[in-house]
Amino acid sequence: MRYIVTSVKTFAWICLLAPLAGCVLNALLYRVARGRAAGVIGTLFLFVSFAAAIAAFFSLQDLGAEERHVRAIAWDLANTVGVDAQLGLLVDPLSVFMALVVSGVSALIHLYSVAYMDSDRGYSRFFSYLNFFVFSMLLLVLAGNFLLLIVGWAFVGAASYLLISFWYRRETATKAGIKAFVINVLGDVGLVLGTFFIFRHTGSLDFLNTFGQAGEVFSRNDGDLVAGLVLLLLGAFAKSAQVPLHTWLPDAMEGPTPVSALIHAATMVTAGVYLIARMWPLFELAPAAAAVGAIIGTVTLFIAATIALTQTDLKRVIAYSTMSQIGYMVLAVSSGAYVAGLFHLMTHALFKALLFMAAGSVIAAMAGVQNLDRMGGFRRAMPFTFGCFVVGGLALAGVPPFSGFFSKDEILAYVAAREDWHVVLAVVGYVAAFLTAVYTFRMIFRAFLGEPVEEARELEAGHLHHVDVHTNPVSGEVEDTDVGFPGADHHIAEREMPMKVAMALLAVGAAVAGFLQIPDVTEVVHDFLEPTFAGSVYFEDLHPSGGLTALGLIVGTVLALGGIALAHLIWVRRPGTAERIRERMVPLYRLSLNKWYFDELIDLVVVRPARHLGGVAQSVVERVIIDGGVTGGASGAVRAGSAAVRAVQTGFLRYYVALIVIGLVVVAAYFLLQS
Amino acid sequence: MSIGWYLAISALVFCIGAGGVLTRRNPLVILLCLELMLNAANLALVAFSRMHGNGDGQIFAIIVMVVAACEVTVGLGVIVAMFRRRLPIDVDELRALQG
């Protein structure tokens, strides 16, 4: 018994620290590492981490269900006056589940990057950052208390910033990095304040202690608890790109494609989902806060799906689909469908990473161009990429028996089973599922079917398209690649073994992962996560009826296939339909194309007032009050006083002597008069 | 003889010294005048010592002499330094301390 607990702890620490070791090693060896050495080091450490996660998983399964909450505490950081900050991990089924997803998908994305980033001058830097990101993410999911959670949360934001602005000569990339960082810091502040609201009452930072006494400390819908949880949700929304804090995610596509696959699809953006699932004992005590999460999740999944319909940048379409899918997860975990949400998190990590990798391969074949309008007919030139893209697309659209089908329909069935107003959310979810199928296959049909573009024909002839002058995919400006990035050469999956292996493994996962949890047949994920959610009202009692499940599965299938058929009709069978629809519905098209004007809205509501306030502060507060009143007044008084005192200092020695004598006389006179 | 005479002489010498310090411009003379003031104080101390019939005042007088010797040493050193650097030997000209 004891030794199993010890091995669980050991494996958890190895899983966490291996990526950190890779990060440090890559950072130190950047002068020495030649060729693909840095990539190999980074990938190896990630596989070590993944292996440790698997080992931790099996060790944990050896423990009894009641004992699957292992605290791995290295030491106390502070243990005074009611603060119990420890450097401690919590290893339970939820954290191991997350660690498996994070380290597994990350390992494959590292493998992919080994080839994809090959000709980039920042190769070592890239892998160092990427390893650092995985370390931060594992710290976030394995943290055993609020303190480490916040640390991991902030580290992840920093890693995201570093990787978005990886090509720091690109102005658009640095701006996108700053935007992501600022919005993420807003979420960090929410997380810290929310933690404080909860800590004030429970007096413990440790998760298990907090959850253990939450029921006694807080009454149902306690004001402080709801406030604290809404602040935590603010953190979750910023990190998981939920409305209205989502505008950084599409811009984050400025980073290299593996970064988009890893951070902005598979792992970091799901941190908010993990947070809500982790805090389930608190959210069940505060249904008001949970309702906020469910509604925002639904709004996000719908808005993002409508935006994805009209975007022309390949990566941005996938980014909006990520936003939409995370909306589903947030809806699920906020509605009590924890397992469904986490299951979708896992399948989404697989198929979305796959889609990004396939998109990266297409972008490489286009020599860096990301515009869908310029793509077409890559099916014969890139059969492998096409196959992977279709598998990912089918999983995303929710076509049986691919993974996304089971996970998404489970979410919607559970949400519908909540009844009341949750049914409305489920209906919106189904509408968005239809849109998902349409936009996913719009992307596939436009990039792979139709008349082959010049690049595709060139590739069919056996030559990978190459440009001498790189241009920014967003602004179209000519890029300065003197510093060696973005790399001069491009790498496609058809020609690079590491990319092929990574994509093939993910494609298998995306195709079959759904079988882990088929309604009424298998319950693998549910059973595994049971110890974490033991005692939850929804976990135990919320089950969609057999009829509802069957209805959901049928509706899901019909919607997915219908969406694909519609996309086929619009973009393949009758080209030009899209233009006709666009002309009929100009306002809707504009709304979607301009991303519901969220950037403009935030600019109007936040940025401009802040800038105006700053201007006023500078011209009035700074100039008049600070310079004029405070510092001006003080320095004026000192200057006047010193001018008066300075006049006394004539420099005449006798004058000083006279003053001394006069002083003596006055003192003497005083004593004489006294006596 | 009453103590008053001694004190009167002491006060007179002190005032002469103080007046010299205040009015003369030659640092050498100012130093001499300072000596006058110190010795006026010595005279008063010795007189009081006699009046009280113990040696405390005498001891103080000797200490004042030591201090005076030190002061003269430093003062003369400064004056010699001024002379060597060809500065004016006139305290009204030396007013670098002016604020």
| Chain A residues lying within 8 Å of B95, measured CB to CB | 650-652
Closest CA in chain A for residue B23: A654
Per-residue confidence (pLDDT) for residue A358, from 0 to 100: 92
Question: Of residues A460 and A283, which shows the higher confidence score?
Answer: A283
Query: Does residue A463 sit in helix, strand or coil?
Result: coil
Q: How far is A629 from chain B (nearest CA, A)?
A: 28
| Chain A residues lying within 8 Å of B94, measured CB to CB | 651, 653
Do the chains contact at B94 and A649, CB–CB below 8 Å? no
Per-residue confidence (pLDDT) for residue A484, from 0 to 100: 61
A479-488: average pLDDT: 67
Angle A266-A268-A273 (CA atoms, 0-180°, nearest 5)?
Answer: 90
Per-residue confidence (pLDDT) for residue A150, from 0 to 100: 93
Answer yes or no: is B90 within a domain. no
| Closest CB from A645, A648, A654 relative to B22 | A654
Q: What is the pLDDT of residues A295-336, one digit of tens each?
A: 999 999 999 999 998 888 889 999 999 999 999 999 999 988
Q: What is the pLDDT of residues A362-387, one digit of tens each?
A: 888 888 788 888 888 888 888 899 99
Q: What is the pLDDT of residues A592-649, one digit of tens each?
A: 888 888 888 888 888 899 999 999 988 888 888 888 788 888 888 899 998 888 888 8
Closest CA in chain A for residue B92: A652
> Count of domains in chain A?
1
Please state, in angstroms and rounded to a whole number, the distance separating the CA atoms of residues B40 and B34: 10
| Closest CB from A646, A650, A657 relative to B21 | A657
Amino acid at A14: I
A395-420: average pLDDT: 88
Going by pLDDT thresholds of 50, 70 and 90, the confidence category of residue A254 is confident
A138-155: average pLDDT: 92
Q: How far is B66 from chain A (nearest CA, A)?
A: 22
| Closest CB from A651, A654, A658 relative to B98 | A651
| Chain B residues lying within 8 Å of A658, measured CB to CB | 22
Per-residue confidence (pLDDT) for residue A50, from 0 to 100: 94
Answer yes or no: is A169 within a domain. no
Q: Which residues contact A427 (CB under 8 A, 6 or more apart)?
A: none
> Which CATH number goes with the domain that contains B70?
1.10.287.3510
- The first and second tokens of residue A307, run together, are 């935006």
Q: What is the pLDDT of residues A155-205, one digit of tens each?
A: 999 999 999 988 888 888 889 999 999 999 999 999 999 999 998 888 888
| Chain A residues lying within 8 Å of B99, measured CB to CB | 645-651
Residue A547, pLDDT above cutoff 90: no
Q: What is the DSSP string of A561-616?
A: HHHHHHHHIIIIISTTHHHHHHHHTHHHHHHHHTGGGHHHHHIIIIIHHHHHHHHH
Neighbouring C-beta atoms of residue B67, cutoff 10 Å: 11
Going by pLDDT thresholds of 50, 70 and 90, the confidence category of residue B77 is very high
For chain A, percent of residues with pLDDT exceeding 70: 98
Per-residue confidence (pLDDT) for residue A237, from 0 to 100: 92
Going by pLDDT thresholds of 50, 70 and 90, the confidence category of residue A481 is low
Per-residue confidence (pLDDT) for residue B14, from 0 to 100: 92
A116-130: average pLDDT: 87
Residue A209, pLDDT above cutoff 90: no
| Chain B residues lying within 8 Å of A661, measured CB to CB | 18, 22
Residue A132, pLDDT above cutoff 90: yes
Do the chains contact at A653 and B30, CB–CB below 8 Å? yes
Which range of residues forms the domain containing residue B17?
A: 3-84
Answer yes or no: is A250 within a domain. no
Answer yes or no: is A616 within a domain. yes
> Count of domains in chain B?
1
| Closest CB from B18, B21, B95 relative to A651 | B95
Alpha-helical regions (H) of A72-170: 93-116, 123-142, 146-164
Distances (CA, A) of A506 to A170, A264, A278, A391, A534: 31, 17, 26, 10, 31
A467-496: average pLDDT: 74
Q: How far is A647 from chain B (nearest CA, A)?
A: 7
Interface mutation target, options B10, B15, B21, chain A, most CBs of A under 10 Å: B21
Q: How far is A643 from chain B (nearest CA, A)?
A: 9
Please state, in angstroms and rounded to a whole number, the distance separating the CA atoms of residues A293 and A95: 21
Angle A320-A412-A543 (CA atoms, 0-180°, nearest 5)?
Answer: 150
Per-residue confidence (pLDDT) for residue A223, from 0 to 100: 85
Answer yes or no: is A190 within a domain. no
* Average pLDDT score over chain A: 87
Answer yes or no: is B74 within a domain. yes
Residue A22, pLDDT above cutoff 90: yes
Q: What is the pLDDT of residues A33-83, one digit of tens each?
A: 777 888 899 999 999 999 999 999 998 888 887 788 888 887 777 777 778
| Closest CB from A649, A654, A657 relative to B99 | A649
Interface mutation target, options A639, A646, A657, chain B, most CBs of B under 10 Å: A657
Which range of residues forms the domain containing residue A635?
A: 599-674
Per-residue confidence (pLDDT) for residue B99, from 0 to 100: 65
Answer yes or no: is A268 within a domain. no
Do the chains contact at A653 and B91, CB–CB below 8 Å? yes
Per-residue confidence (pLDDT) for residue A52, from 0 to 100: 94
Q: What is the pLDDT of residues A78-102, one digit of tens each?
A: 777 778 888 889 998 999 999 999 9
| Closest CB from A646, A653, A661 relative to B99 | A646
Closest CA in chain A for residue B93: A652
Answer yes or no: is A406 within a domain. no
Question: Of residues B25 and A35, which shows the higher confidence score?
Answer: B25
| Chain A residues lying within 8 Å of B23, measured CB to CB | 654
ipTM of this complex > 0.95? no
For chain B, percent of residues with pLDDT exceeding 70: 99
B16-44: average pLDDT: 91
Residue A362, burial from CB neighbour count under 10 angstroms (0-12, 13-18, 19+): buried
Answer yes or no: is A485 within a domain. no
Q: How far is B63 from chain A (nearest CA, A)?
A: 22
| Chain B residues lying within 8 Å of A646, measured CB to CB | 99
For chain B, percent of residues with pLDDT exceeding 90: 56
Q: Which stretches of chain A sit within 8 Å of chain B by CB? A: 645-654, 657-658, 661
Per-residue confidence (pLDDT) for residue A420, from 0 to 100: 82
Interface mutation target, options A642, A653, A660, A665, chain B, most CBs of B under 10 Å: A653
Per-residue confidence (pLDDT) for residue A540, from 0 to 100: 79
| Closest CB from B18, B21, B95 relative to A652 | B95
Per-residue confidence (pLDDT) for residue A596, from 0 to 100: 84
Residues facing A145 on adjacent strands: A206
Per-residue confidence (pLDDT) for residue A189, from 0 to 100: 93
Q: Report residue A408 CA to chain centroid gap.
A: 20
Do the chains contact at B97 and A646, CB–CB below 8 Å? no
| Closest CB from A646, A651, A654 relative to B96 | A651
- The first and second tokens of residue A651, run together, are 């420099």
Going by pLDDT thresholds of 50, 70 and 90, the confidence category of residue A483 is low
